[in-house]
Chain A
Amino acid sequence: MIDPIFLLEAVINGILLGGVLALLALGLNLIFGVIDIVWIAYVDLVALCMYAVYFLVTLYGWPLPLAGVASIGVGALLGLAVHQLIITPILASPPINQLLATGGLLFFVQSCATLLWSTDHRSVRVTLPTIEVGGIFISFTRLIAFALSILAMIGLYFFLTRTYTGTAIRAVSQDREAIALMGARPQRLYLVTSAVGGAMAGIAGALLIIQYAVHPYFGGAFGPLTFMVCVLGGLGNMVGAFFAAFIMAQIISVGGVLVSTEMGYVIAFVVFIVLMFVRPGGIFARRA
């Protein structure tokens, strides 16, 4: 039987992974919930932010926190660019075209990255201690990333509930015409939403580069996982995605320890597929 210590470690690592996964899922969900388009290339944009932090730190010698802040800016700019150049022309197209357009972006980003920076894995060295609590080893880096993710999500929550623009963004996702009748321009709100979604990607990028190495196909690893989390929580449902992230992360972490790393993912995906059939709207869907 497996040592309960390892299991506990897996659970804790699962929670830490869940934090970052939730951050990824929230950014994607925000955009989908408001604009009704899934950015298939979202995690690849996160990867670009990871590259940004990497180069700022290793090439230009920036201190990590500063690079992290810059990453937020990079992400926001990417969000704006994607919305303005790719999304706006296809807002009225059938959903398949929208999926394919962002899919095309995925290809473009991944191969551009290969072209420019080769397939080498790059990571940012962070020398932080590993904490030991009663025989369990926890990476301090992961802990900090987790804490910052939670902070970012709280920040997003306050933005959406306490500010005028945030409330307007929630409003436009509920009734686009009605908000226009109040004097708000839906197009402009979409732009802001994309920028915020991009900024979230920037934060996620900064937090991920200190834990994982980045390479052009990073999106292939985390991308499908992020989509699963969003769909599981109900596309557009922020709270749902939050919990779904932790559930998936637990399955991956514990499954990875019980069987093997890859099987951990396989189990998570299979669970996802099964849950999709039980509750197609997501496990937290209001209406089945």
Chain B
Amino acid sequence: MTGRLATWALGLVVLAAIPAMPLGRAQEYIWHVIIQIFLWSFIGNAWSLMGRFGLVSLGHGAFLGVGAYGTVLLWNFFHVTPWLGVLASIALTVALALIVAYPCSRFQVVGHYFGLVTLAVGEVIRLLIVAERDWTGGSLGVSLATGAGASGLWTLQFADKRVFYYVGMAAWLFGLWVWWRVDRSMARAAMEAIGEDETAAASVGIHVTRFKMGITALSAGLTALGGTLLALYLAYANPDTLSGIGVSLRIVFAVVLGGMYVLLGPSVGTALTIALSEYLRIYFGIKLIGIAETIYGLALILFIIFLPAGIWGSLADAWRRRRAAPARTAPA
């Protein structure tokens, strides 16, 4: 157990030390990429809380969008500090999630139907954002209003990227902690029972509706937080990058790539997809727009067919099997 803890500690120390390392002229860019990885991994983690229990949402873009736009618009129009704004948008997102989750749980909307209903919700939010272009900026997006009192702790706007590096890292670690806690709790056993056979679970006294709604609310709230942080970091929100089916699917892909049932799965998957897309962008410049996603799509298909547990998930399984094997080959 201590071996594991040591590895974690070492990893965290290295990560925390990166901003202090002399990485040359590209260091701001490297920080930028890592911040993106932190934030999107956090979001992927939040998604996998639902996904691993069979609640496959194809509309998490809705939660991202409400979270991001909520905070940004509250600042832009009402000068509400993001510290409070984020609480308001999380509350709004959780409310939305519960409104959708309650009937889904009560009326047994599962599997394909659930996926498609969430897809619809994701689209509704995106369409709403575009339709209400007068105050959301429509498809052009909205920037965080700068000017009086716009920098510093009040609005979480910092000239130095490094602050956001640590904010991102903190969020990421927080997300992992939540995932770990859910994994250990009764909720996990209950959700797995529900995932296998809802009626049987209900007959044993598991309050199916409450659990489903709880997990959905948690996942939605965390996603909203992630959306807010992204919007604050980029000082910009756009309906296509922060809502809609595209981003929803991208979240899912990253998680599946890394492995949905393992703690670091979403993070590994996100890191890989972001690294890939950045690499391709540098390598091809603007010459081959779309190549990154082409490779994603192909990779996703191949992974689903050949490696459904994801990269990290499969490695974790293989590792677990190797550690179990020596016990079996003990001398007679």
For the complex formed, measure the closest distance between the CB of B279 and the CB atoms of chain A, giving whole angstroms.
Answer: 16
What residue of chain A has the Cβ atom nearest to residue B246's Cβ?
Answer: A220
Can you give 27 contacting A-B residue pairs, CB < 8 Å?
A: A90-B304, A93-B304, A96-B115, A100-B252, A100-B256, A100-B304, A101-B305, A103-B253, A103-B300, A104-B296, A105-B301, A107-B253, A107-B296, A107-B297, A108-B294, A109-B297, A111-B297, A113-B290, A114-B289, A220-B244, A224-B120, A231-B116, A273-B117, A273-B120, A276-B103, A276-B113, A280-B108
Q: Does chain A have a CB within 8 A of B200?
A: no
Also in contact, A224 and B123, with CB within 8 A (given A103-B249, A106-B249, A107-B297):
yes
Inter-chain CA distance A111–B292, complex, in Å, is 8
Q: Are B293 and A111 in contact (CB under 8 A)?
A: yes
Inter-chain CA distance A52–B103, complex, in Å, is 42
For the complex formed, measure the closest distance between the CB of B298 and the CB atoms of chain A, giving whole angstroms.
Answer: 5
Q: Does chain B have a CB within 8 A of A265?
A: yes
Residues in B with CB closer than 8 Å to A101 are: 300-301, 304-305
> For residues 238 through 275 of chain A, which have their beta carbon under 8 Å from a beta carbon of chain B?
260, 262-263, 265-266, 269-270, 272-273
Q: Are B291 and A115 in contact (CB under 8 A)?
A: yes
Residues in B with CB closer than 8 Å to A123 are: none
Also in contact, A105 and B54, with CB within 8 A (given A95-B112, A260-B131, A276-B113):
no
Which listed residue, B113, B131, B289, B304, touches A104 by the CB 8 Å rule? B304
Apart from A109-B297, A276-B117, A277-B109, what 15 extra A-B contacts exist at CB < 8 Å?
A86-B305, A90-B304, A96-B56, A104-B300, A107-B294, A108-B294, A110-B290, A110-B293, A111-B296, A114-B290, A115-B290, A223-B245, A235-B112, A235-B113, A270-B124
Q: Does chain B have a CB within 8 A of A97?
A: yes
Q: Are A99 and B244 in contact (CB under 8 A)?
A: no
What residue of chain A has the Cβ atom nearest to residue B301's Cβ?
Answer: A104
Residues in B with CB closer than 8 Å to A97 are: 304, 308
- What total count of A-B pairs have CB within 8 Å? 142
Q: Are A228 and B116 in contact (CB under 8 A)?
A: yes
Q: Does chain B have a CB within 8 A of A156?
A: no
Inter-chain CA distance A19–B109, complex, in Å, is 28
Inter-chain CA distance A90–B108, complex, in Å, is 25
For the complex formed, measure the closest distance between the CB of A224 and the CB atoms of chain B, giving whole angstroms.
Answer: 5
Also in contact, A104 and B107, with CB within 8 A (given A231-B116, A235-B112):
no
> For residues 175 through 217 of chain A, which have their beta carbon under 8 Å from a beta carbon of chain B?
216
Residues in B with CB closer than 8 Å to A48 are: none
What is the 8 Å Cβ interface bit string for chain A, positions 36-55, against chain B (1 contact, 0 not)?
Answer: 00100000000000000000
Residues in A with CB closer than 8 Å to B305 are: 86, 89-90, 101
For the complex formed, measure the closest distance between the CB of A147 and the CB atoms of chain B, giving whole angstroms.
Answer: 30
What is the 8 Å Cβ interface bit string for chain B, positions 121-149, against chain A (1 contact, 0 not)?
Answer: 10110011011000000000000000000
Inter-chain CA distance A288–B262, complex, in Å, is 37
What residue of chain A has the Cβ atom nearest to residue B117's Cβ?
Answer: A276
Inter-chain CA distance A97–B307, complex, in Å, is 11
Q: Does chain A have a CB within 8 A of B119?
A: yes
Residues in A with CB closer than 8 Å to B113 are: 231, 235, 276, 280
Q: Which residues of B contact A (CB under 8 A)?
A: 51, 54, 56, 58, 100, 103-104, 107-109, 111-113, 115-117, 119-121, 123-124, 127-128, 130-131, 244-246, 249, 252-253, 256, 288-294, 296-301, 304-305, 308
For the complex formed, measure the closest distance between the CB of A152 and the CB atoms of chain B, giving whole angstroms.
Answer: 24
Which listed residue, B58, B124, B130, B288, touches A115 by the CB 8 Å rule? B288
Q: Does chain B have a CB within 8 A of A131?
A: no
Q: Does chain B have a CB within 8 A of A227?
A: yes
A-B residue pairs, 4 tightest by C-beta: A108-B297, A104-B300, A114-B290, A107-B297
Band of interface residues on A: 35 or more
Q: Are B131 and A266 in contact (CB under 8 A)?
A: yes
Residues in B with CB closer than 8 Å to A95 are: 56, 111-112
Q: Are B297 and A266 in contact (CB under 8 A)?
A: no
Also in contact, A269 and B291, with CB within 8 A (given A220-B244, A220-B245):
no
Also in contact, A104 and B120, with CB within 8 A (given A95-B112, A280-B108):
no
Inter-chain CA distance A266–B62, complex, in Å, is 13
Which listed residue, B119, B246, B249, B304, touches A227 by the CB 8 Å rule? B119
For the complex formed, measure the closest distance between the CB of A25 and the CB atoms of chain B, giving whole angstroms.
Answer: 13
For the complex formed, measure the closest distance between the CB of A226 and the CB atoms of chain B, giving whole angstroms.
Answer: 10
Residues in B with CB closer than 8 Å to A8 are: none
For the complex formed, measure the closest distance between the CB of B112 and the CB atoms of chain A, giving whole angstroms.
Answer: 5
Residues in A with CB closer than 8 Å to B252 are: 100, 103
What residue of chain B has the Cβ atom nearest to residue A118's Cβ?
Answer: B289
Which listed residue, A90, A106, A114, A276, touches B109 by the CB 8 Å rule? A276
Q: Are A269 and B124 in contact (CB under 8 A)?
A: yes
Q: Are A269 and B120 in contact (CB under 8 A)?
A: yes
Q: Are B308 and A38 in contact (CB under 8 A)?
A: no
For the complex formed, measure the closest distance between the CB of B32 and the CB atoms of chain A, giving whole angstroms.
Answer: 23
For the complex formed, measure the closest distance between the CB of A285 and the CB atoms of chain B, giving whole angstroms.
Answer: 11
For the complex formed, measure the closest distance between the CB of A107 and the CB atoms of chain B, giving whole angstroms.
Answer: 3
For the complex formed, measure the closest distance between the CB of B314 and the CB atoms of chain A, giving whole angstroms.
Answer: 14
Residues in B with CB closer than 8 Å to A90 are: 304-305
Also in contact, A272 and B120, with CB within 8 A (given A103-B252, A115-B291, A224-B245):
yes
Q: Does chain B have a CB within 8 A of A144?
A: no
Q: Are B124 and A111 in contact (CB under 8 A)?
A: no
